[in-house]
Structure 1
Amino acid sequence: MRYDVVGLGIASLDLIGVTEEQPLFGAKQSLTGWHEMGGGPVATALATLARMGARVAMTGAVGNDGYGQRILADLQTVGIDTQAMHVRPGTSHVSFVLAEPGRDRRTVWWHNDPTVLEQVPLEHELIRSARALLIDTHMPQVALHAARTMQATGGLVMIDAERVREHTLELLPLCNLIVVSAEFARQATGVVEPWEAARVLHSRYEEQLVIVTCGAEGSWCANKGELFHTPAFEIEPLDTTGAGDVFHGALLYALLRDDPIRLAIRFASAAAALSCQGLGGRGNLPTVSEVEALLEPA
């Protein structure tokens, strides 16, 4: 295998404003800091994997604008192979993030050009060259073909889903690892409580492993008929942007080195916690040794 993980999804440029005050709409407020860095769910998960020493590549598209050039350069800087990234006419995915240090909250506004992401060519050989495929919900039609390609090779398919979009539910039966937000789980099942939603998804989709992430409240996992909770690490967050993306990347890393599922989720939770001590999704990507140090008993 050429790669441990190939990702298909959004790569963005994140513009991060930092405030110490409670945000007020309709008012002028100063920022205490400003940062710019690459972002996006799949892209940040791959950056996490690369930081931990995994071989990773990404396929998707950016616009033929200055932002697109910066996004590609940033992916390459963090160790992601971008040979299968396409540059297409239009504007790239850009997010503005308002970070509130000390609070388990951030606000994100984003924009992309749908035509840039439509009918992105699928790199079948790239998919087959990897042990695992990570997808999000921004390019569902391409993701469907990619998941089927990976499924045929016997590799792992993980989905990162924050909300239900058109065709999203068609992807779930093709995924070995359904790792979704509490909001997605609620929308997909109609069940409010995350643990019950995890159980419903687990029974609905041919007994795949299901994890519902709940931020500071940890995560719920349903696997092989078992339902269990993994608490989040107690930290003072600087910025929670991208913590879920880091969780996905670290979880895949742990599973690909054959960690038992409970230990893999704990590893991913520790990585996500460490990421919250930096600004932006990639401001504090942890190494394996840093994660394992946090996991060691005091």
Structure 2
Amino acid sequence: MTTTRWNVYQPSTGTLLFVGCATLDSIALVQDYPAADSRTVATDFTTAGGSPAATAAVAAARAGAHTAFAGVLGTDEEGDRIISGLQAEGVDTSAVVRDPGVKTGASVIVVSKATESRAIVTRPVPPVSFPAEGRFRELLDTAAWVHVDHLGWNAVASLPGLKPDSLNLSVDAGNPIPSFSPRSVALYVPTVERLRADYGDHHNAEALLQKAIDAGASAVVATDGAEGAWVKSGDKPAVHVPATPATILSTLGAGDVYHGALLAAVAAGLPLVDAAAFAGRTASASCEGLDGRSKIPRQSITSALATNHTV
């Protein structure tokens, strides 16, 4: 059984470093999806920053954490707007690489009110990599926590001279990560669907979390959409955390918001069950906005510290 390397009850005062994707999203709200060769009038339209690691950084910043984002952007207008949006939230962007040879990731997203679903047309995010030395390595070496999405994982794991098990590492495993193992990951946050894909759909949620613990994760928080989340730390029993009822305009970015709020709460010292509940409330509130960020609450985690669980 894996021995937990970190203490979820001990607050971390350092930087939370988020590594991976950032895009600029143009989002339209319609009643029904457009048909071919049609003209559809949108109920609302907005442009906002998106993608897993960048949106998680904003959610953590709004929860009071000191955050930094590291990714790769072009030297285009989209990259400029992403940087200014993150900086407006107080996110440190000093480790972002601006590469004139690439185009910044961008998406056009159509959200359907009728089906409460979305369709995404995206320009791929540039590959994420960093020099062996420099500002990224400085932040990596000093961060209290490092959170990675599916592109950030490879950027961190492949950095010369770095041992991932030397970090307090939080992993967003909502998207597939080739050759990934949760070994030595302090906070592993997949979906239940991802765990089923990895370990077999014949297992119940508790057994799936145990599989991830057996594979080397110190703690696992597995999200399950409208069913809430499952939490397990070390050899303690799995705990189900119910979903928070939501008024849904769009679920765009809700999972990314969950990841950022969860890490901010863990870093602030909340027990893991309380951190998962806090993250669920935050993600639910974000669904009231068309984009993934505008309705993320600005809030203090301090009041939630009064609740004390044993996970």
TM-score (norm 1): 0.86
CA–CA separation in structure 2 for the residues paired with 1:283 and 1:129: 30
SS at match of 1:106: strand
SS of equivalent to 2:103: coil
In 1: Cα distance, 2:62 partner to 2:264 partner? 10
Q: Which structure has the highest helix share of the two?
A: 1
Is contact 2:268-2:301 (8 Å) kept? Answer: no
The match for 2:8 is none
The residue that corresponds to 1:117 in the other structure is 127
Aligned pair count reads 287
Shift of 1:64: 2.3
Q: Which whole-Å deviations, capped at 9, do the CAs of 1:144-170 have from their partners, x for residues lacking one?
A: 146955642xx5210012222323x14
Q: Contact 1:20 / 1:101 at 8 angstroms: preserved in 2?
A: yes
SS in 2 for 1:110: strand
* Local SS of the residue matching 2:60: helix
C-alpha offsets along residues 267-292 of structure 1, whole Å, 9 cap, x if unaligned?
11111111111121102111225996
- 1:186 match: 196
Pairing 1:23-42 to 2, within 5 Å after superposition = 23=33, 25-26=35-36, 28=38, 29-42=40-53
For 1:44 and 1:252, the matched residues in 2 are separated by 13
Q: Distance in 2 between matches of 1:250 and 1:128?
A: 22
1:141 corresponds to which of 151, 154, 177: 154
Instruction: Tell me if the contact between 1:103 and 1:238 (Cα under 8 Å) persists in the aligned partners.
Output: no
Q: Counterparts of 2:121 and 2:302 in 1: how far apart (Å)? A: 30
Give CA-to-partner distance per residue, 1:82-132, whole Å, 9 cap, x none: 11101111111112222234755333332225xx42543252211122110
Instruction: Give the drift of 1:32.
Output: 1.3
Distance in 2 of aligned mates of 1:71 and 1:144:
25
Deviation at 1:73, TM superposition (A): 1.4
RMSD: 2.7
Structure 1 residue 51: deviation in Å?
1.2
- Is the aligned partner of 1:58 residue 2:76? no
1:48 Cα offset (Å)? 0.9
Aligned mates of 2:26, 2:302 — CA distance in 1:
27
- Between stretches 59-68 and 2-11, larger displacement belongs to 2-11
- Which ranges in structure 1 are unaligned for 5 or more consecutive residues? none
Equivalent residues of 1:128, 1:149 under 8 A apart: no
Alignment match, 2:230: 220
Structure 2: gaps of 5 or more residues: 1-11
Residue 75 of structure 1 deviates from its aligned partner by 1.3
1:139 Cα deviation after fit? 4.2
Q: Structure 1 residue 49 and structure 2 residue 51: aligned?
A: no
SS in 1 for 2:270: coil
What residue is the counterpart of 2:5 in the other structure? none
Percent identity between the aligned chains? 28
After TM superposition, list the pairs within 5 Å mapping 1:207-286 onto structure 2. 207-225=217-235, 226-286=237-297
Q: Whole-Å Cα distance in 2 between the matches of residues 124 and 149 of structure 1?
A: 12
Tell whether 2:168 aligns with 1:156: yes
Correspondence 1:174 to 2:184: yes
SS at match of 1:117: coil
1 or 2 for the larger relative contact order (CA 8 Å, sep ≥6)?
2
SS at match of 1:109: strand
Tell me the amino acid that sits aligned with residue 140 of structure 2. Answer: I
User: By how many angstroms is 1:210 displaced?
Assistant: 1.1
1:69 corresponds in structure 2 to: 80
Q: Which residue of 1 aligns with 2:139?
A: 126
Query: In 2, distance between residues paired with 1:239 and 1:216?
Result: 14
Deviations 1:242-277 (A, max 9, x none): 111111111111111211111111111111111111
Maintained 8 Å contact 1:194/1:220: no
Alpha-carbon contact 1:182-1:212 (below 8 Å) kept? yes
Other structure's SS at 1:81 match: coil
